[in-house]
Structure formats: C-alpha cells, structure tokens
Amino acid sequence: MNEFPVVLVINCGSSSIKFSVLDVATCDVLMAGIADGMNTENAFLSINGDKPINLSHSNYEDALKAIAFELEKRDLTDSVALIGHRIAHGGELFTQSVIITDEIIDNIRRVSPLAPLHNYANLSGIDAARHLFPAVRQVAVFDTSFHQTLAPEAYLYGLPWEYFSSLGVRRYGFHGTSHRYVSRRAYELLDLGEKISGLIVAHLGNGASICAVRNGQSVDTSMGMTPLEGLMMGTRSGVGAFGAMAWSAQDAGPPVSDLERGGRSASGSRG
C-alpha cells in the first residue's frame, strides 16, 4: 500500500473516461490514462501512454473496473482518499464544488437536459465509481460554476424575457475549471492582487473559450447556454450562426436535431 493518500480524478465523456491519480501532498501525477470507445468493439484502456488494453464492448462500470484493477496492481487502491468528478453543466443550482450525495445526484439529473451529451455520461461515471469505491468520499466539480458570478447584463441574451423566466435560456459559460485555475496561477506567477487586477483568460483546444476575470471572479465569457457559442472551434460553429441556421430550417430544410449536430461536430475549422 502507498503510505501517501491520493486523489482519483475522473472525466467521463460521451464515449470515453479520462482519469488521473494525483499525490495529495505534491499534486504529482502518479498515473493517468484514457478508456475510449465505450460500448463499441474497439474500446480500449491506455495507461501512461502504454500499449492499449482491449476493453471490447465495455460500458462505464466495466472501464472503471479495469482502471481500479490497474490501481490495485500499483498498490494505490487503498490510498484513494477522494474521487473527483468533472461535471459539464450545473445550471443555476451549483455555484461551487460539492460532496456527492443522493440528493446531489438527483439535482445533477434535473439540470442534465441542458447538456445531455455530457451530463448523463458524467452521472454514469458517478454511479460506477460509487459502486466500486463505496467508502471513498466523492466530489462533483462543475464546468459552469465559476461563471455563476456573471451579472444579469452578462448572462442575459437579447431575447424576449419569457425565454429566460420560463425556459431558463441564459448564458452559463463553460471551461470554468480551466479558467479558474489559469487565472489563479496567473495571479500567483505575476504577483498580482486579485482585488486590483483584471485578466483575460483563454482556453484553447478543439473546444475554445475566453473569460474576463475581475477580482478573482468571472465577469464575462464567450460560451453561452451551450458550448457551441463563442469562438469558432475545431468542429463547432461559434457565434453568428443562429440566423443562418434558422433560415436553413425553413420550409423543407433539415430538422433542428441535424442542425444542432452539424453546428457541434461538422462546423468550425472542419466545416
């Protein structure tokens, strides 16, 4: 058994599980990997970039069992003191990270229609981890919570009021965990005071967003109600496509589901 406690961090996506094991004292990464291709014959598990392990037709619990086995092989299982789950969308219910309970799971499920592709996968990961590690405390970290400090003038769209009051249509923002970490590290490395400094933070990858941070809090961000908005990205349309997509849906145009899929996976640089 490793004498030092470790944290298992899990990010369950729509078809993959990314994970890391970190030493609590040093934050050193002791183990990291990905289980990809969930529920397909090509599913695999890769640890620290080593040769992939076949996980054909594995679901989330099967994949987490395989990850737990790899932890056991490295004498890390009994050292897991905490499991952290990245949750894509917390809606307006979650303004900070929370310890996972049955009530928290119910509330995550309530807001999951806002991000069905990701949140339901996140919940599958939570269910599997609670089953495999029943004695370990687990925490949900929300990608949207950092942006819950936005003022109404930043999170409201220029749409009829009832869209917000009845449907909850508003800017939520994403990549919050990244923006929070980068802004705090910038304050530290540049020796800036949070109370007197403003920052523009960029999260750049296949998905990309920018965030304005003042006094250590998010005050504006490029992504909106969904991660499709804002900057043009690898496969996402970004801002400015609403009118074109609405026009495309007229008459015998493609259904809204096809337009959404196109804006999410066939637009941006790929388009």
Residues annotated catalytic, as ranges: 143
In 3D space, the residue among 118, 119, 115 whose CA is nearest the CA of residue 104 turns out to be 119
List the structure tokens of 161: 């009021």
Return the half-sphere exposure (C-beta side, CA atoms, 13 A cut-off) of residue 61. Answer: 7
- How far is the CA of 67 from the CAs of 18, 240, 269, in angstroms? 10, 42, 34
In 3D space, the residue among 158, 141, 132 whose CA is nearest the CA of residue 77 turns out to be 132
Q: Which ranges in the chain belong to alpha helices (H)?
A: 60-73, 102-111, 116-132, 152-155, 161-167, 176-189, 242-248, 256-265
State how far the Cα of 203 lies from the Cα of 182, in Å rounded to an integer. 9
Assign 3-state DSSP to the chain and report helix, strand, coil percentages, each to 5: 35, 25, 40
Q: What is the CA radius of gyration of the chain?
A: 20
